[in-house]
């Protein structure tokens, strides 16, 4: 198998990470009206890694294809990806429906097939639903190996094998797998770049294809029902102590030390 | 016998009020282990499995060359009726590809209605893959079980709490370990041990090496006290000099904010937050941490939160039970001496 990489980078449009989301009045979700959205930070890292792999060895990467499943507004997220260095993109327009990870993985599996991808790099989780599932689900559907929470990725050009250092609970571990492969990214993997203005202009001319789940033959109906979304319990207001002695005294009387 | 069976019936009818329950419901707890010991997170997963199962049996599954040995100690955990053992070195490193196959095969064969694992790096790696093999939408990091199909989980870095009902035949969940008490490790009457169905599928990846942070201190995930350092420590030398002696003086584990980790003050495995570990100790002391939402997501369920920061405007003071506005380089060594 040729080890030329055809990288697929799925990206998600989410509420900006610096914004504190508020639960809506109907308790069905969080308020999205007038809220700033951005590319999910882990997806940004995934894209950056794909670009760095190409910068490391130009001959190694045949193409980088960005894909997003979401509302038509996810076009902006794909334009950002194109401005940063993706070559072409696909929007799977699902309207306002909030897709579950299993549905996203099934859609992505179809795009992998269509794009003949052999490396998929995803973020380890979206900061809205915090599921941390899509990469693993995709790898399972494709029966490809998976390397999650990657903090280092090395592609060996001659053999088509990839060595990945993963963040695990007690430290890190290194695994190796042959292409095709699914990787999910940890925060520590890299520092994403900003898109320059000329590149943002150029990105407007890059391909962005829009498809529907039906075009891909995927049923995206939900398995889960969100019964209710509520604010987390509010903590009681605390006290500011005047000295370390007072702090120790209060901790001792509370039995905390 | 009579009283036991009527108790069972009573428990069953109480549970089935309003809930249509499949007659062969049974729950599988996925056990993670290291050095022949059951991982602390798995003991919480067993508690959650018992809560879900009610009066129905709980089965545990364990895989690896040491599995039979771990099964012995697991047999003493009260409430486990059966242990499925896959004694096969192919599972030793927890590679998700063959492990997911093993789990999926055993779920199919035994018709488990629920599969529970800890939301650890291990659980998050393998459980969604099992979901793909079983065509089930998993539910990550639940903090509460409302009923056999309804679960509560935080979303948006803990800024919202979602109550979610699963309409899948099989409920595949990972649990936030700090939200479920660890199961007792003694007093069980011994569970039946059986060989798991082993598909012997090949792993598609190869384990090369690991680099684990060695520490005499309590493990961050299960510690009852945590001292965490942030950007305010300024460099690694200060972090080592200020945070570790304080943690040792009160018998605490050491944690860190993302800023401290990114700046190289502490190892990534110590990171507390949405993208690191989620902890809920009795006492959490945040030193030189401003309290970004990403960090709060990982610690705001701690029982008592103490913040030491020289900036009185730092958001951490909004969640702290006790706050000390002071220079940490003076306050913390003072606390270390006075509490040591």
User: Which chain B residue's Cα is nearest to A148?
Assistant: B125
pTM over 0.90: yes
Q: 3-class DSSP state for residue A86?
A: coil
- Beta-carbon separation of B154 and A248 below 8 A: no
A:37-96 residues touching chain B, CB 8 A cutoff = none
Mean pLDDT for all residues in chain B? 92
Beta-bridge mates of residue A146: A182
ipTM score for this prediction? 0.96
Mean pLDDT for all residues in chain A? 95
The percent of residues above 90 in pLDDT, for chain B, comes to 83
Mind listing the domains of chain B with CATH numbers?
Answer: 19-195 (3.40.50.620), 225-339 (3.40.50.1220)
For B132, the closest of A141, A178, A187 (CB atoms) is A141
Residue B114 annotated as lining a ligand binding site: no
Please tell me the total count of domains within chain A: 1
Q: Pairing between strand B150-155 and B160-166?
A: antiparallel
For residue B194, what are the CA distances in angstroms to A42, B72, B191?
42, 12, 9
Examine the pLDDT at B117 and tell me if it is beyond 90: yes
Q: Hey, is the C-beta of A148 within 8 angstroms of any chain B C-beta?
A: yes
Q: Hey, is the C-beta of A16 within 8 angstroms of any chain B C-beta?
A: no
**B206 vs A contacts (CB less than 8 Å):** 175-177
- Beta-carbon separation of B207 and A254 below 8 A: no
The per-residue pLDDT for range B34-85, each reduced to its tens digit, is 888 999 999 999 999 999 998 889 999 999 999 999 999 999 999 999 999 9
For residue B103, what are the CA distances in angstroms to A154, A224, B267?
30, 22, 32
- Beta-carbon separation of B213 and A128 below 8 A: no
- Beta-carbon separation of B165 and A141 below 8 A: no
Examine the pLDDT at B24 and tell me if it is beyond 80: no
Q: Hey, is the C-beta of A174 within 8 angstroms of any chain B C-beta?
A: yes
Exposed / middle / buried, residue B232 (Cβ in 10 Å: 0-12, 13-18, 19+): buried
For B168, the closest of A141, A223, A248 (CB atoms) is A223
- Fill in the DSSP letter of residue B295: H
Question: Which tokens sit at A148?
Answer: 């999650």
Give mean pLDDT, residues B238-251.
97
Please, which residues have CB within 8 angstroms of residue B279's CB and are 6 or more apart in sequence?
A: B178, B220, B221, B223, B226, B255, B272, B298, B299, B302
User: What is the torsional sign of CA A114, B138, B197, B22?
Assistant: negative
Question: Which tokens sit at B282?
Answer: 């009795």
Q: Which pLDDT score is estimated for B127?
A: 98
Examine the pLDDT at B101 and tell me if it is beyond 70: yes
Q: Which residue range is the domain that position A208 belongs to?
A: 5-253
Beta-bridge mates of residue A5: A61
Q: Hey, is the C-beta of B138 within 8 angstroms of any chain A C-beta?
A: yes
B:211-270 residues touching chain A, CB 8 A cutoff = 211-213, 221, 225, 250, 258, 261-262, 267-269
CATH number at residue A225: 3.40.50.620
How distant is the Cα of B256 from the closest Cα of chain A, in angstroms? Answer: 14
Place of tokens 């670009």: A51
Q: Which pLDDT score is estimated for B275?
A: 85
The per-residue pLDDT for range B51-62, each reduced to its tens digit, is 999 888 999 999
How distant is the Cα of A93 from the closest Cα of chain B, in angstroms? Answer: 21
Q: Hey, is the C-beta of A240 within 8 angstroms of any chain B C-beta?
A: yes
Q: Hey, is the C-beta of B338 within 8 angstroms of any chain A C-beta?
A: yes
Please, which residues have CB within 8 angstroms of residue B5's CB and are 6 or more apart in sequence?
A: none
Residue A115's closest CA among A48, A178, A209? A209
- Beta-carbon separation of B305 and A238 below 8 A: yes
Residue A43's closest CA among A72, A70, A4? A70
Q: Hey, is the C-beta of A151 within 8 angstroms of any chain B C-beta?
A: yes
Question: Which tokens sit at B337?
Answer: 């001496």
Predicted confidence band at A170 (pLDDT cuts at 50, 70, 90)? Answer: confident
């Amino acid at each position: 198998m040729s080890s030329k990489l055809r990288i697929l980078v799925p990206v998600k449009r989410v509420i900006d990470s610096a914004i504190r989301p508020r639960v809506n009045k109907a308790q069905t979700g969080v308020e999205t009206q007038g809220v700033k959205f951005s590319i999910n930070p882990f997806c940004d890292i995934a894209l950056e890694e794909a670009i760095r792999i190409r910068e490391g060895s130009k001959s190694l990467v045949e193409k980088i294809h960005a894909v997003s499943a979401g509302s038509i507004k996810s076009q902006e997220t794909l334009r950002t990806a194109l401005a940063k260095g993706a070559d072409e993109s696909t929007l799977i327009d699902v309207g306002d429906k909030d897709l579950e990870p299993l549905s996203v993985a099934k859609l992505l599996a179809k795009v992998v097939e269509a794009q003949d991808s052999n490396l998929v790099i995803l973020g380890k989780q979206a900061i809205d639903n915090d599921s941390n599932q899509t990469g693993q689900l995709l790898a399972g559907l494709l029966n490809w190996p998976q390397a999650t929470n990657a903090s280092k990725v090395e592609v060996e050009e001659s053999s088509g094998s990839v060595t990945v250092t993963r963040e695990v609970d007690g430290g890190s571990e290194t695994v190796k797998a042959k292409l095709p492969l699914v990787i999910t990214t940890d925060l520590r993997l890299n520092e994403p770049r900003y898109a320059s203005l000329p590149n943002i202009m150029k990105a407007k001319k890059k391909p962005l294809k829009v498809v529907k789940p039906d075009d891909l033959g995927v049923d995206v109906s939900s398995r889960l029902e969100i019964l209710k979304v509520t604010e987390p319990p509010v903590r009681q207001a605390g006290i500011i102590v005047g000295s370390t002695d007072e702090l120790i005294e209060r901790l001792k009387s509370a039995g905390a030390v | 016998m009579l009283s036991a069976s009527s108790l069972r019936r009573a428990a069953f009818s109480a549970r089935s009020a309003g809930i249509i329950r499949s007659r062969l419901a049974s729950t599988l707890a996925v056990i993670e282990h290291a050095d022949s010991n059951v991982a602390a997170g798995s003991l919480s997963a067993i508690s959650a499995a018992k809560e879900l199962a009610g009066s129905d049996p709980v089965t545990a599954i364990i895989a690896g060359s040491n599995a039979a040995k771990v099964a012995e100690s697991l047999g003493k955990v009260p409430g486990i009726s059966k242990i499925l053992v896959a004694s096969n070195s192919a599972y030793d490193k927890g590679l998700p590809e063959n492990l997911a196959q093993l789990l999926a095969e055993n779920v199919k064969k035994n018709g488990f209605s629920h599969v529970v694992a800890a939301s650890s790096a291990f659980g998050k790696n393998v459980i969604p893959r099992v979901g793909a093999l079983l065509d089930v939408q998993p539910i990550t990091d639940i903090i509460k079980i409302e009923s056999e199909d309804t679960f509560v989980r935080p979303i948006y870095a803990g800024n919202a709490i979602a109550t979610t009902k699963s309409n899948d035949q099989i409920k595949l969940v990972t649990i936030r370990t700090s939200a479920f008490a660890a199961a007792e490790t003694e007093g069980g009457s011994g569970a039946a041990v059986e060989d798991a169905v082993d598909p012997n599928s090949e792993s598609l990846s190869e384990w090369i090496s690991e680099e684990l942070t060695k520490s005499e201190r309590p493990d961050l995930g299960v510690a009852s006290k945590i001292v965490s350092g942030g950007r305010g420590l300024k460099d690694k030398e200060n972090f080592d000099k200020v945070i570790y002696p304080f943690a040792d003086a009160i018998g605490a584990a050491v944690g860190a904010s993302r800023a401290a980790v990114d700046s190289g003050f502490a190892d990534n495995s110590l990171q507390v937050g949405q993208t690191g570990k989620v902890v809920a100790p009795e006492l959490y002391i945040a030193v030189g941490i401003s309290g970004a939402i990403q960090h709060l997501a990982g610690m705001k369920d701690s029982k008592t939160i103490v913040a030491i920061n020289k900036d009185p405007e730092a958001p951490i003071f909004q969640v702290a039970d006790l706050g000390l506005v002071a220079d940490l380089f003076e306050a913390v060594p003072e606390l270390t001496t006075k509490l040591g």
